[in-house]
Amino acid sequence: MKLVFLFPFLMFVVGFWVYISKRKHIMNMLISLEYLVLSIFLFIMLVSFTLGLESYMSLVFLISSVCEGSLGVGIMVGMVRSHGSDYVSSFSVLQC
């Protein structure tokens, strides 16, 4: 039964590794963050099904993750329009 919980953990580790190693484009970073959110959602669902709890908290988590994803895409579109590309190295945080 504990091997079931190993799969979301491995998904999280792989997603975190991709997030750390692929920092060149903003879109790659956003996709890996969504992958991390998906692994956390899977873990929440497995825990709630195993313990016999209600899955309303997972619905709230899923709604907040969708809002986070749409906000990230909106910020990325704004950066691409203002800086011309989605390369992380093409803009500075301190620059207006």
29: number of Cβ within 10 Å: 19
pLDDT for the residue 82: 78
pLDDT for the residue 96: 52
Query: What residue segments make up the domains of the chain, in order of their start?
Result: 6-83
Q: What is the DSSP string of the chain?
A: -TTTTHHHHHHHHHHHHHHHH--SBHHHHHHHHHHHHHHHHHHHHHHHHHHT--SHHHHHHHHHHHHHHHHHHHHHHHHHHHHSS-BGGG--SS--
pTM, entire model: 0.78
- The hierarchical CATH code for the domain 6-83 is 1.10.287.3510
pLDDT for the residue 75: 84
Q: Which residue has the tokens 């504990």?
A: 2
Listed as ranges, residues in the chain with pLDDT below 50 are 94
The number of C-alpha atoms within 13 Å of 72 and in the hemisphere containing its C-beta is: 16
pLDDT for the residue 78: 85
pLDDT for the residue 58: 83
**Tokens at 76, concatenated:** 């990325």
pLDDT for the residue 92: 63
pLDDT for the residue 91: 61
pLDDT for the residue 57: 83
What are the backbone angles phi and psi of residue 25, rounded to the nearest 5°?
Answer: -110, 145
